[in-house]
Structure 1
Amino acid sequence: MMIFAKLCLLASLIFLLFTRVRTLLTYFQQEEYDGKRFVGAWSDVRLFDVKATVATLVAVVLGANGMGAVLTTLLLSVAFVVLAYLEGQHRFKKALARTERAMRIYWLTFGSVAVLALLTLLHPLCALVALHAAPFVMIVANKVLQPLQVKINEGYQSEARAKLERLDPIRIGITGSFGKTTVKHMFAEILEASGPVYYSPGSINTVLGHTRHIRQRLQWSHKYFVAEMGAYGIGSIKRLCDFVHPNYGIITAVGDAHTERFGSIEAIAQAKSELATEVCSAGGTVVLNAKLLDYAPFAKIRETYGARAVTVGFEDADVVISHQELDGGSWSISLSSQNPDLDGITYELPLLGEHNVLNSALAVVMAATIDPKIVAQIPYFTRTVAQVPHRLQKVGAPGTALILDDAYNSNEMGFMSAVASMDKLAKQRGGRRILVTPGIAELGLEHDRVHDRLGKFSAEKCDMIYVVNPDRIRSFVDSTKSGAAKVIEVATFSDARALIAKELHEDDVILYENDLPDLLEEKRIL
């Protein structure tokens, strides 16, 4: 009978590990398979085992105090099955992407910890070895598989590079601390006036991401290829440029988003300037937010390449936004310039947010620079620019509250612009101004200063503020006390939605500002 009980315990532990490894891999993937950052997540999110450990220790104590080894072993087996089932019911905001790489890591990790699970045949306490080793076995598994992954990636990249060279579309790179995805969508829709455009969906902005889309989706019919470019350190955009070889570039902004990764805003400016350097040195043209000239790398680029670096801004720019007026849900925008091809362009933009005025101007100027013949058509294309999902997207229907979904990757300027838009719309509707936010991520040393400013700004323009995971942004919570807004602290977005639903009025406007990934919102007890 004892042999049967031990086999039941082994099977139940393997079942629990089957689920546990999937959970850990989801977080590991969200940390971009970075072992060091994953160890930080293991501590911050509490990915270490608690429930199964307690269950095991209780079973051992009960067995030692006369309950009987067979019964306690069977009870522990049941506990493992229940815990595996409950863990399997958890729903992630960003579910595991079952890529080939992810599955290789999964099966190597699971196989390794399943072998460790055999130790439970010796003693139930040995179950803890497999459970607690799983996160670290996963890091080792990724390292072991790394050479194979590099070889596979290089093969795919070679295919994509050859296809891009063979099809040879006109290539445009877009980067910036924020706004690049929105500008990409705007620009691609406007550039359709000149010819078929391919651009990666969502926020694909890495070499591997572009590799997959070039291999699978780029066609001979595409005249233009638009590549969003993300920077994860100095040299990231240079590597993307070496892969894509852009003929043109747009750089939206330099800000304190991702300061935690780069260390300083000067380093961010240096990283973003790599696109301008690559494009201009190859004889192409780059369109810049005029404020970028405040940073030394961009000032040097302007000095070196002159007219190849076209600036756009509200003043002191090659192309000046001379008029902007919000009428209902659309902007009326005019541009002026010494360049006759860019002077006098007037268009409408059906998107919320004052920051989108500059974003759209960057897109319009780039499109007009690439193909001046489409200038007269630009107003027809901007008028129908679609809302970009999760970027100040209006969601609502007659008779219901208006939701502003600005859940993706917030920054300080965009945060304030979104709150200002909510304030204006709520006053027009006569409803309450309700903000739901967990703040901004990856600010590094600027974390408290930025959140203090955002808290004071929000306190003046909101009636209710739901702060998600408030312990992470205590400076924001404290600074909101400067206004009359009612502040409610909640653990998750789901908790906020449940509370809002109980007292929501049809005239209210709710802004969901920045929805953090599971890693930053959750505290788990596995």
Structure 2
Amino acid sequence: MNQILRFLVLYGGTVIGLAKILQLIYLFQVKEYRFDRFIVSLQENGGISYLYQIDPRFPAKSIRNLLVAIISLCLLAFILFYMQSASFLLLLLFLLTSPVISFLLVSVGVLLTEILARIKRALIIRDAEEFLQNKKVVGIGITGSYGKSTTKEYLSHILSQKFKVAKTDENMNTDVGIAMSVLKNVTAETEFFIAEVGAYTEGEIRRACKVIQPFYAILTAIGNQHLDLFGSKEKLILAKKELLEEVPPNGRIYLNADIDDKSVLVRSIKTKIVLYSAKKQADISVSKKGSQYALRYKRNVVSFPVPSHVPYALETLLPCIGLALDLGMNPEQIEKSLGSLPVLKEKLSRSKGIRKAVIIRDTANSSVEGFLAALEPLANTKQSKRIAVSKGIIELGEEKESSYKRILDQLHKKKIALYTTDPVFKTLDIEETVAYFKNEQLLAIDLIKNIDSKTAVLLEGRFSPSFIAKLEPEGSLK
């Protein structure tokens, strides 16, 4: 009987350990194998208790994930070998702490493979820098707390009417991601390379700029995304400023005039700065008359209609049009390009969902300002029932509660219900507009029960492909 009990305890700890190793490799992969992002994620989800939650996940097939898995499993096998002769009390301790042990084992795997990963990254970056040295490619860098991807896509579309343009691939906004995009997308004919540049800490944008050598820069906005990683709003602003500092004096910077901390950003910058705003007078400004917008910059006027998917991204178009004008494109060329702007699949695109519900996807990532902006098209739908779905916004630090209160206030004013897996939303809910679920699967079950042709659903932030598929069985754009 004692041997059977020992076997069951050891077997249970082993099964839990194996499952947790897979889940933790997945989580490290999502957090780009960064301990700073992983630790913040743990803190936001309840600390060590998060390791004990049942959330089966499987990492993507990659060499690094395979190496981390092999290292973790070898270490686990060593522990199991020792445990065969351990006391029952120690076996019981192994069972109770197996999620924590799995975390330690995977952490060792991540640390050991980081050595190889850094060597590989350095080689890729070196190859990209050498590749661009022999090309007459003008670099354009885009950064900001949100709006980077949309700006990149719109700028690429507009400039492509006249120039040969290459850009960074989706989710490739680090130094190595940019370098990989250079090697993949830049050709002998490329005239401009547009790079979306992101950062989680100071110095990362500056390192990325060594690859692209930006001659033009666009700073879209400053929010509080990743504030927990930067440590303070001041450090976040200084990190974004690195892009501006890397533009040469004879280059040009396009800066959102609505940023509150402009004075810090422009201080000591000797490059020409062009301010743009969709709300007030600036170097680049816009007005609306009927179904038309009129953008004014210098002596140029660019007029364009208001496609259904553009009003909420109008601010991102302004620096794109201004830069196109500075590069010699005429208003007619630009107006023609604006008439065929691409519908970005994860940027407020619409599709027919299950039971003919309207699904609005803003699923590239999530920020406070992006969430608030996405509520507008949801509120303007003809459907009588409106639901926003969010798993929460990560890495907001000390501003999380105040940010969530802003979102909840707008949800209440616009009569929009919120389905979420983030308990902080529920804790702050005083208007009873929030439905909280422990995980994505439970949320999906309840949501599907409650939607029909009179329902519009906003998906805010990233969700698993299986979750999206349940809501969008057809997936056809409207």
TM-score (norm 1): 0.77
Is the alpha carbon distance of 1:503 and 1:233 closer, same or farther for their aligned partners in structure 2, counting shifts above 3 Å? closer
In structure 2, C-alpha distance between the alignment counterparts of 1:430 and 1:16, rounded to whole Å: 45
Q: 2:54 matched to 1:98? A: no
Q: 2:251 matched to 1:284? A: yes
Which residue of structure 2 aligns with residue 143 of structure 1? 111
For the Cα contact (< 8 Å) 1:157–1:211, is it kept in 2?
yes
Which residue of structure 2 aligns with residue 270 of structure 1? 238
Which residue of structure 2 aligns with residue 346 of structure 1? 303
Q: 2:362 matched to 1:387? A: no
In structure 1, C-alpha distance between the alignment counterparts of 2:173 and 2:21, rounded to whole Å: 28
Is the alpha carbon distance of 1:389 and 1:494 closer, same or farther for their aligned partners in structure 2, counting shifts above 3 Å? farther
SS of equivalent to 1:291: coil
Q: Kindly state the Cα deviation for residue 230 of structure 1 after the two structures are TM-superposed.
A: 0.3
Which residue of structure 2 aligns with residue 414 of structure 1? 370
Which residue of structure 1 aligns with residue 322 of structure 2? 365
Q: Kindly state the Cα deviation for residue 219 of structure 1 after the two structures are TM-superposed.
A: 2.3
1:261-311 per-residue CA deviation (whole Å, 9 max, x = no partner) reads: 223333222211211221143x21111111237432323256x33xx2111
Q: 2:83 matched to 1:120? A: yes
Is the alpha carbon distance of 1:494 and 1:365 closer, same or farther for their aligned partners in structure 2, counting shifts above 3 Å? farther
Q: Report the number of matched residues.
A: 456
Q: 2:423 matched to 1:467? A: no
In structure 1, C-alpha distance between the alignment counterparts of 2:445 and 2:22, rounded to whole Å: 28
Is the alpha carbon distance of 1:140 and 1:386 closer, same or farther for their aligned partners in structure 2, counting shifts above 3 Å? same
Q: 2:406 matched to 1:458? A: no
Q: Which amino acid counterpart does residue 34 of structure 2 have in structure 1?
A: D
For the Cα contact (< 8 Å) 2:141–2:196, is it kept in 1?
yes
Q: Kindly state the Cα deviation for residue 510 of structure 1 after the two structures are TM-superposed.
A: 1.3
Q: Kindly state the Cα deviation for residue 199 of structure 1 after the two structures are TM-superposed.
A: 1.5
Identity of aligned residues (%): 22
| Structure 1: stretches of 5+ with no match in the other structure | 51-86, 519-526
Of the structure 1 ranges 35-44 and 201-210, higher mean CA displacement relative to structure 2 is found in 35-44
Is the alpha carbon distance of 1:24 and 1:168 closer, same or farther for their aligned partners in structure 2, counting shifts above 3 Å? same
Which residue of structure 2 aligns with residue 186 of structure 1? 154
| Structure 2: stretches of 5+ with no match in the other structure | 466-478
In structure 2, C-alpha distance between the alignment counterparts of 1:107 and 1:398, rounded to whole Å: 41
Which residue of structure 2 aligns with residue 166 of structure 1? 134
In structure 1, C-alpha distance between the alignment counterparts of 2:457 and 2:60, rounded to whole Å: 30
In structure 1, C-alpha distance between the alignment counterparts of 2:216 and 2:146, rounded to whole Å: 19
For the Cα contact (< 8 Å) 1:174–1:250, is it kept in 2?
yes
Which residue of structure 1 aligns with residue 187 of structure 2? 219
Q: 2:387 matched to 1:434? A: yes
In structure 2, C-alpha distance between the alignment counterparts of 1:468 and 1:515, rounded to whole Å: 12
Q: Kindly state the Cα deviation for residue 439 of structure 1 after the two structures are TM-superposed.
A: 3.8
In structure 2, C-alpha distance between the alignment counterparts of 1:231 and 1:476, rounded to whole Å: 30
SS of equivalent to 2:329: helix
Where do residues 194-273 of structure 1 align in structure 2 (5 Å cutoff)?
194-273=162-241
Greater helix share, structure number: 1
Of the structure 1 ranges 240-249 and 290-299, higher mean CA displacement relative to structure 2 is found in 290-299
Which residue of structure 1 aligns with residue 295 of structure 2? 335
In structure 1, C-alpha distance between the alignment counterparts of 2:266 and 2:8, rounded to whole Å: 69
Q: Which amino acid counterpart does residue 220 of structure 2 have in structure 1?
A: T
In structure 2, C-alpha distance between the alignment counterparts of 1:211 and 1:392, rounded to whole Å: 29
Q: Kindly state the Cα deviation for residue 255 of structure 1 after the two structures are TM-superposed.
A: 1.3
Is the alpha carbon distance of 1:505 and 1:397 closer, same or farther for their aligned partners in structure 2, counting shifts above 3 Å? closer
In structure 2, C-alpha distance between the alignment counterparts of 1:38 and 1:439, rounded to whole Å: 16
In structure 1, C-alpha distance between the alignment counterparts of 2:405 and 2:8, rounded to whole Å: 55
Is the alpha carbon distance of 1:12 and 1:293 closer, same or farther for their aligned partners in structure 2, counting shifts above 3 Å? closer
The structure with more radius of gyration: 1
In structure 1, C-alpha distance between the alignment counterparts of 2:186 and 2:62, rounded to whole Å: 21
For the Cα contact (< 8 Å) 2:175–2:204, is it kept in 1?
no
In structure 2, C-alpha distance between the alignment counterparts of 1:154 and 1:243, rounded to whole Å: 11
Of the structure 1 ranges 384-393 and 10-19, higher mean CA displacement relative to structure 2 is found in 10-19
Which residue of structure 2 aligns with residue 65 of structure 1? none
Q: Kindly state the Cα deviation for residue 165 of structure 1 after the two structures are TM-superposed.
A: 2.1
TM-score (norm 2): 0.84
In structure 1, C-alpha distance between the alignment counterparts of 2:457 and 2:187, rounded to whole Å: 41
Q: 2:453 matched to 1:506? A: yes
Which residue of structure 1 aligns with residue 283 of structure 2? 318
